[in-house]
Structure 1
């Protein structure tokens, strides 16, 4: 599978496994899981053909590790980022003192007024390092990085989780726990 096709399959899987499973006529279980054979057949039925080997390649080589197989390899799900209701079954985790959020520079004034909200997703996504946040923010235009006082939020009762691919999740971040990251 060449890189261009792998990216195309990955983007399609993100749409199906995170946002719109109905586009291929499937329903995710409560944990966001879908039987691999059902996924492959449903995608083929909508003209998006790929093999189990292709799927294995996409999961193994996705630079953001967006997807995970179940322990037995029979099911697949997105690691985080769902707009459809799923319960990932993650255990609450103590965050580091600071986490980061990458965004477009144009959104910073609004975020500093209103805080971080999940928007169309189930939780706010945070990065453990500034470099990742810069990459995330770059997807939306000129990037800006916000520092999140994560340990202080956790101490105030906010819950944090870390997904299988290392993305930190929380329900919201109030503006008083944010500041613009500087070099």
Structure 2
């Protein structure tokens, strides 16, 4: 990047991390830190920034070393002295009547059963006053997120604590499904159905068969030998009892042969 592009990147990162992270759907950790991965996802949505990779961000911070930024172990922040004073102070606040949250389609069933819960890696559930912002945040993890409606005011009156993180962002540690209006997941595309069907057919059935029998090889097209032919059994016994070069053959032929040779010899001598 030339100097002009570097300055433009520095300016937008300063706004994202030091002034208005909420305008980009970003929630900073304590101290103002954000992972490079999360920063890249948000930056990728901005006009003229989609060409910048996570590695490009690291190089920018490590080599260009902008004065207002601090970079440590794949995390970045605006230095405390340059941050907005209340940047990471998330005070309790009364929410509006409705808020919106994005859900990955894969997590639809789990959310329907258990609601939304924070985790070690995700301290807050991020809610927005605008559907567009909820969709924007959701698309960072899934191309087709589900947007659920939250009865925020009613849940707050029932005891759910909300914290404000900017003009359009609210945070909660969890949300029970009773306060959520969750649309049905999008239908599975025919292409995805065929792909799933092919994968299931390619995998042999490894389930146990009741009764102890296991004709599993037959199910995948293999030949199963059930009754061992007698000639194989006798062959095995012959090998077991074999003693010499010719095995355990009847030695009567030796006696007969010897007798014939002796008789022939006597005839020649007489």
Taking structure 2 as the reference length, what is the TM-score of the superposition? 0.41
Matches of 2:145 and 2:100, distance apart in 1: 12
- Cα deviations by residue, 1:133-162 (Å, 9 ceiling, x for unpaired): 111222222111011111111001111111
Q: 1:153 aligns with which of 150, 155, 161?
A: 155
What is the number of residues matched between the two proteins?
A: 135
Deviation at 1:48, TM superposition (A): 4.7
Paired position in structure 2 for 1:32: 31
Matches of 1:75 and 1:155, distance apart in 2: 34
RMSD of equivalent CA atoms: 3.9
Q: Secondary structure at the match of 1:47?
A: helix
Deviation at 1:69, TM superposition (A): 7.3
In structure 2, runs of 5+ residues without a counterpart are 22-26, 34-57, 70-76, 185-270
Q: Secondary structure at the match of 1:108?
A: helix
User: Is the Cα contact below 8 Å between 1:160 and 1:168 reproduced in 2?
Assistant: yes
User: Is the Cα contact below 8 Å between 2:115 and 2:175 reproduced in 1?
Assistant: yes
State yes or no: 1:174 paired with 2:176: yes
Bigger-Rg structure (1/2): 2
Matches of 1:139 and 1:33, distance apart in 2: 20
Structure-2 change in CA distance of 1:78 and 1:102 (3 Å): farther
User: Is the Cα contact below 8 Å between 1:123 and 1:171 reproduced in 2?
Assistant: yes
Deviation at 1:103, TM superposition (A): 2.4
User: Is the Cα contact below 8 Å between 1:103 and 1:136 reproduced in 2?
Assistant: no
Structure-2 change in CA distance of 1:33 and 1:124 (3 Å): closer
Pick the structure with more helix per residue.
2
Taking structure 1 as the reference length, what is the TM-score of the superposition? 0.57
User: Is the Cα contact below 8 Å between 2:130 and 2:168 reproduced in 1?
Assistant: no
Paired position in structure 2 for 1:104: 104
Deviation at 1:6, TM superposition (A): 2.9
Pick the structure with more strand per residue.
1
In structure 1, runs of 5+ residues without a counterpart are 20-30, 35-42, 56-66, 80-87
Matches of 1:164 and 1:151, distance apart in 2: 18
Matches of 2:136 and 2:95, distance apart in 1: 21
